[in-house]
Chain A
């Protein structure tokens, strides 16, 4: 245990430690000299590039040696999804996957081809991975997201010639900017402007700035001057943290921030050829001698140092570890660890230590510290010791929640397995928590470490569709690319392995197979897809349109059906297209809907093809209403009549003929008498004729169209009343017996406020309607008499309800008497 602090170095209040992660197994003759090295954060892969135009791929046997055929490379970098970017002198950016297979390339603009890239940087922002370059013409070009390439050329920097002394990319307020130093001057470049800035409190103004570093979170900035001074402050250049004189005047090779969440002593790591210096806010520094060419990689919670033979992690010792392992520490965790150690030795001292913790009632805190510290330790042995101590302490606590302990054990098991040198992801617990399991699984999948990924998913009980199923899908996508295996066996292998897993998207796998030119395999795989909607786009792509149509219909998604139908329409000749639709009624009716709104002519063709005469008739009728000219309208209606006849719809045919007859009649009258009848209904036409005194014509229509008597009487009655032709009305009433009775006469007159005329007809009303008629003209007495005469209880009540108790008292009494006699009967 005493060894734990052996590699600790004090820096102010805090300690720094360097842990060896791996021994590097790369066989380079000259170490990392003359190499370009790029390493990705979160324990990501490392890539180097030799100047002798050999591309050497490494990290635990992943890459193979290849000949570099393309142009000179300026910079290497990794994207957020573990692709390798090679930025060439001519501005071309090549993208390779983890296995060194070329994926695609893009260019940083035409200007670069002439001026060449002087320097380039790959950076990460919330928008993804970006690339920034500075050209021979001293101009900067930025691409914030290489997956959605938008090149931005930044404004010119005054007085800058060639490359700046140093520069960095910043992301602030959702904007990407470039910070650059040209000797002593510091500028911020954004989309529109170039602003000179001064870091507050940088004491030696005359010095030039030779190196700069931006922290992992883009919050802090460090500047190194040629006088050997290191300035640290916030990236917005508003605050200064400290300034340290390193006493080294040589420009450093590399400079990176070394922080961790809740850092006590954030620091900057500066590297020279043989020296590694850690400088914090305090005046002390830590110095390490470097015995080989190395590269520093900034991490969320430290710095990784990659050398020819070693791969190390430099970090501030987390406070939980400090508390426990610091020499002579009396922190609860330290005591608990001690207690457990004594307990293992079967010594009674264990009890003494435990008592001491319990007396201060900090046992909970002690357990917590041990659990937390275990997470920060890399050596499984140390982790175990700490966890055992925590578990020991937990026994003496009654209601300590088990979750932190359990989840830490789980996390460590996962971490230890990915740190294994065959996997080679030296992830710290902090990074792991930040990055989430999902991303870790993705990265494992990307490295084709399917079994490990599945095991982790199962171990962490990740829901299937997020975990195991996803991994299996990737496996299958990889499997279908194995050209040497026959379709049958691949389809079989895939279905056997994926059969039980939930939420597998077979269509994605099939799409991959199709991309590799294996259409047959793709179709076989699609058969396994439960979501028919997912099958459709791929089937269309593979020109299996009939199958696509039936799958689309199966899914019930009408938009999908439309999509296929539109596709078929463009692909097939009209006859075949119609035939196909005919066999799929759902698609046919949808297509009809479409045509109704968009292609009237096609609609007609469709009906024609199906010999649907009824619909054809309707079609012509509809069309006739859109027609302005009467002749055209009549001819369309005639077509409708023909179709209705073919459809054996006698009624519709006859009605349409009647319509034509009416239209012709209206036209004639309009021409002869100057009326405006065209377009009115028969009823309206009659009404218009009657009110304009064209009684003869009305009579003719009435006969021609066999209008029922009742309706005609109503019509004439209202028309006469409306024009106050009471004389004619009286004649009409006497012309013959009214088929609608005489109550309507009374009501119509009352409606026209002519009670005098109304009274004339009351006597003609049938006994059943007498009461109503009297009431209509407001004759209560008459109504009462009629009601009493009829001895109808209901009618008497109706009249009663209309009487007012003050004015009609006598009547009320009479009615009440009559009602009681009526009720007796």
Chain B
């Protein structure tokens, strides 16, 4: 189930195993049969760590979703609540426990807080008078979850909103803790680079925690050479653009959650896990969608040729060899069939006029065409009441590419939106303004063109089939975040000081002292390994771009990616929306 985690440059399975071990230890602490009551939000992330079989081995017999009222009947000795430390969840748990007591059934209660226990929550349980009912109150430190061979995610949906909108830095604390765990397993990371306020904060906490743990350092040869911390608000543009890689488009169209995707129509393939464990998927996921068709047909030829070999197999030995490869070939064939269907579904969308028009406008904005005027396409979309998020993505994009919109233009858009979609969205617009996604132009100077030119964010002739630059992931636009990463590796940030100053937040470099004897002696031609941490989310297209850089022959750096959450423009904007009706109900 997890072999794909160990193929990469850094064996991330170590992390997964460590997490599984901890889970098993907790389950064994509650002796006897158990039922788990899940905070529904956690089931997805947990799926990446342990399947039901592991729980079953440790006498978990039933699973329920956490909800108010009385717990469902189950003949088990232990009831374990797996929850995030949220006060509202504590109230539900208290309700469960209180109604349970009335039935006089002797079941033991336990709580497992993920990712951290909280005094505030325990206090709440105490106020509700149920704290004493729990035999075990424990925490399960699940910060960074191995998502794929080169990818770690904290799967924390609200991280961007909390950090940039609500000034709640809890997720940054978890990030720092997670990085400390990572360093305990993979050695101290000697160099830390960063850009942005949150990055600075995380780095400060890491350095402080290192001092706190002085003496208990593990003597492990460092696996990572450097860490790059990037604030999402340094590059607000990239997630707004429509991703054009295969995986990116799957995410845009169907949405990938916790590594799984539900396709429509559902009867065909209900829920598919998408990761590098599937050979074909690993091959095509990061290609520009225009290159996927060719790759699939090439693959089809290879597979059918492989099946043809059965005719040429004459001797018993040859036949035996053929048969031994059969399961693998059959898996490859069904994988090919699946992805051909998916690619066709997506193609229907990408070839549609609506998609094309939308993309044209996006590209106009990114190249700086008429970003200071009312855009008729946006106007038409509003008039036809297209989905609000689509409108917001475009308006925000125009604002970002113009370093803010003129007050009059901004007010016009806002008014159009409020009149069409309802005045309640004023709060959402307000949130977008607070996070800087939407803003009135303050200075007369628009520095986006300078940034675009210096960092070569727009490449006119992006080669989609055989890319030679990261810009292929957006068919022309090279993600700003990845350009920063690329420049850092070579020739270094000193060459772009001017641009860095235009982007929000400080940029910095820190060094962590390694214990004597652990300095790595680099072989000639050996690549560096850099961990890039996106605070506030990363898109699949950006990951594809980093993988592309890792694979470049003369790149010299391999990247491991970590993030608070995998996002796309839609899920990102959604996380910033305020819907008062929803809250009232």
Of A562, A589, A651, A681, which is within 8 A of B420 by CB? A681
Residues in A522-547 with C-beta less than 8 Å from chain B: 530-533
The residue of chain B having its C-beta at the shortest distance from the C-beta of A563 within the complex is B119
State A593–B383 Cα separation when bound (angstroms): 36
- With known contacts A562-B120, A662-B423, A593–B166 Cβ distance under 8 A: yes
Q: How far is the CB of A105 from chain B (nearest CB, A)?
A: 24
Q: How far is the CB of A411 from chain B (nearest CB, A)?
A: 24
**Inter-chain contact B215/A562, CB cutoff 8 Å:** no
**Inter-chain contact A651/B201, CB cutoff 8 Å:** no
Q: How far is the CB of B326 from chain A (nearest CB, A)?
A: 41
- With known contacts A530-B212, A566-B120, A622–B168 Cβ distance under 8 A: no
**Inter-chain contact B379/A589, CB cutoff 8 Å:** no
- With known contacts A556-B208, A593-B168, A626–B584 Cβ distance under 8 A: yes
Is A825 interfacial (CB 8 A cutoff)? no
State A597–B382 Cα separation when bound (angstroms): 33
| Interface residues of A, dominant DSSP | helix
Q: Which of A464, A530, A557 has the most CB of B within 10 A?
A: A557
Q: How far is the CB of A186 from chain B (nearest CB, A)?
A: 30
- With known contacts A626-B580, A683-B385, A621–B415 Cβ distance under 8 A: no
Of B212, B214, B423, which is within 8 A of A656 by CB? B423
**Inter-chain contact B421/A681, CB cutoff 8 Å:** yes
**Inter-chain contact B584/A625, CB cutoff 8 Å:** yes
Q: How far is the CB of B377 from chain A (nearest CB, A)?
A: 12
State A322–B430 Cα separation when bound (angstroms): 88
Is A598 interfacial (CB 8 A cutoff)? yes
Q: List A contacts of B421 (CB < 8 A).
A: 681, 683
Is A729 interfacial (CB 8 A cutoff)? no
Q: How far is the CB of A786 from chain B (nearest CB, A)?
A: 17
**Inter-chain contact A711/B580, CB cutoff 8 Å:** no
State A555–B173 Cα separation when bound (angstroms): 9
**Inter-chain contact B87/A503, CB cutoff 8 Å:** no
Kindly supply a per-residue 1/0 record for chain B positions 380-423, scoring 1 wherever the CB is within 8 Å of any chain A CB and 0 otherwise.
10111100000000000000000000000001001110111111
Is B57 interfacial (CB 8 A cutoff)? no
Q: Which of B119, B166, B213, B383 has the most CB of A within 10 A?
A: B383
Q: How far is the CB of B529 from chain A (nearest CB, A)?
A: 27
**Inter-chain contact B201/A556, CB cutoff 8 Å:** yes
Of A502, A598, A622, A658, which is within 8 A of B580 by CB? A622
State A593–B167 Cα separation when bound (angstroms): 9
**Inter-chain contact B172/A655, CB cutoff 8 Å:** no
Kindly supply a per-residue 1/0 record for chain A positions 551-570, scoring 1 wherever the CB is within 8 Å of any chain B CB and 0 otherwise.
00011111110110010000
Q: List B contacts of A558 (CB < 8 A).
A: 168-170, 173
- With known contacts A655-B426, A659-B423, A530–B168 Cβ distance under 8 A: no
Q: Give the contact stretch, choosing among A57-65, A381-389, A702-710.
A: A702-710
State A747–B198 Cα separation when bound (angstroms): 49
Q: List A contacts of B581 (CB < 8 A).
A: 625
Is B123 interfacial (CB 8 A cutoff)? yes
Interface size on B, residues (CB 8 A): 52
**Inter-chain contact A559/B116, CB cutoff 8 Å:** yes
Is A618 interfacial (CB 8 A cutoff)? yes
The residue of chain A having its C-beta at the shortest distance from the C-beta of B211 within the complex is A530
Q: Which of A469, A659, A680 has the most CB of B within 10 A?
A: A659
Q: How far is the CB of A678 from chain B (nearest CB, A)?
A: 12
**Inter-chain contact B379/A710, CB cutoff 8 Å:** yes
State A590–B85 Cα separation when bound (angstroms): 15
State A280–B214 Cα separation when bound (angstroms): 55
**Inter-chain contact A683/B168, CB cutoff 8 Å:** no
State A391–B273 Cα separation when bound (angstroms): 62
Q: How far is the CB of A592 from chain B (nearest CB, A)?
A: 8
**Inter-chain contact B215/A625, CB cutoff 8 Å:** no
Q: How far is the CB of A636 from chain B (nearest CB, A)?
A: 12
**Inter-chain contact B384/A566, CB cutoff 8 Å:** no
Q: List A contacts of B123 (CB < 8 A).
A: 563, 566
**Inter-chain contact A559/B85, CB cutoff 8 Å:** yes
Of B87, B88, B418, which is within 8 A of A655 by CB? B418
| Interface residues of B, dominant DSSP | helix
State A710–B379 Cα separation when bound (angstroms): 8
Is B274 interfacial (CB 8 A cutoff)? no
Q: How far is the CB of A755 from chain B (nearest CB, A)?
A: 18
Is A715 interfacial (CB 8 A cutoff)? yes
Residues in B203-221 with C-beta less than 8 Å from chain A: 204-205, 208, 211-216
**Inter-chain contact B423/A658, CB cutoff 8 Å:** yes
Is B510 interfacial (CB 8 A cutoff)? no
Kindly supply a per-residue 1/0 record for chain B positions 416-440, scoring 1 wherever the CB is within 8 Å of any chain A CB and 0 otherwise.
1011111110110010000000000
Is B118 interfacial (CB 8 A cutoff)? yes
- With known contacts A556-B173, A586-B169, A593-B166, A715–B419 Cβ distance under 8 A: no
Of A531, A562, A715, which is within 8 A of B118 by CB? A562
Q: List A contacts of B546 (CB < 8 A).
A: none
Is A607 interfacial (CB 8 A cutoff)? no
Is B176 interfacial (CB 8 A cutoff)? yes
Q: List B contacts of A477 (CB < 8 A).
A: none
**Inter-chain contact B214/A625, CB cutoff 8 Å:** no
**Inter-chain contact B426/A652, CB cutoff 8 Å:** yes
**Inter-chain contact A559/B212, CB cutoff 8 Å:** no
Q: How far is the CB of A498 from chain B (nearest CB, A)?
A: 12
Q: List B contacts of A26 (CB < 8 A).
A: none
Kindly supply a per-residue 1/0 record for chain A positions 595-637, scoring 1 wherever the CB is within 8 Å of any chain B CB and 0 otherwise.
0011000000000000000000010011001100000000000
Is A50 interfacial (CB 8 A cutoff)? no
Residues in A627-672 with C-beta less than 8 Å from chain B: 651-652, 655-656, 658-659, 662
**Inter-chain contact B420/A502, CB cutoff 8 Å:** no
- With known contacts A625-B584, A683-B420, A562–B119 Cβ distance under 8 A: yes
State A533–B170 Cα separation when bound (angstroms): 14
Q: How far is the CB of A723 from chain B (nearest CB, A)?
A: 17
**Inter-chain contact B118/A559, CB cutoff 8 Å:** yes
**Inter-chain contact B167/A586, CB cutoff 8 Å:** yes
Q: List A contacts of B205 (CB < 8 A).
A: 556
Is A19 interfacial (CB 8 A cutoff)? no
Is A585 interfacial (CB 8 A cutoff)? yes
Of B88, B119, B176, B416, which is within 8 A of A597 by CB? B88
State A710–B419 Cα separation when bound (angstroms): 14
State A560–B122 Cα separation when bound (angstroms): 12
- With known contacts A562-B118, A655-B423, A705-B419, A502–B168 Cβ distance under 8 A: no
State A533–B173 Cα separation when bound (angstroms): 12
Q: List B contacts of A626 (CB < 8 A).
A: 580, 583-584
Q: List B contacts of A684 (CB < 8 A).
A: 422
The residue of chain A having its C-beta at the shortest distance from the C-beta of B580 within the complex is A625
The residue of chain B having its C-beta at the shortest distance from the C-beta of A559 within the complex is B118
State A625–B580 Cα separation when bound (angstroms): 6
Is A421 interfacial (CB 8 A cutoff)? no
Is A714 interfacial (CB 8 A cutoff)? yes
**Inter-chain contact B422/A681, CB cutoff 8 Å:** yes
Q: List B contacts of A740 (CB < 8 A).
A: 380, 383
Q: How far is the CB of A597 from chain B (nearest CB, A)?
A: 7
State A790–B344 Cα separation when bound (angstroms): 34
The residue of chain A having its C-beta at the shortest distance from the C-beta of B202 within the complex is A556
Q: How far is the CB of B102 from chain A (nearest CB, A)?
A: 25
State A710–B420 Cα separation when bound (angstroms): 13
Other 15 A-B pairs with CB < 8 A, given A556-B205, A593-B166, A682-B420: A502-B216, A503-B215, A503-B216, A531-B212, A559-B170, A562-B118, A562-B119, A651-B415, A652-B426, A655-B423, A681-B420, A705-B419, A708-B416, A710-B383, A711-B383
Write 24 A-B pairs (CB below 8 A) sorted by A numbering.
A463-B216, A502-B214, A531-B212, A556-B176, A559-B119, A562-B120, A563-B120, A590-B168, A622-B580, A622-B583, A625-B424, A625-B584, A626-B580, A652-B430, A656-B426, A658-B423, A659-B423, A681-B418, A681-B419, A681-B420, A681-B421, A682-B419, A684-B422, A710-B380
Partner-A contacts on B (CB < 8 A): 85, 87-88, 116-120, 123, 166-170, 172-173, 176, 201, 204-205, 208, 211-216, 379-380, 382-385, 411, 414-416, 418-424, 426-427, 430, 578, 580-581, 583-584
5 nearest A-B residue pairs (beta carbon): A502-B215, A625-B580, A503-B215, A714-B383, A589-B167
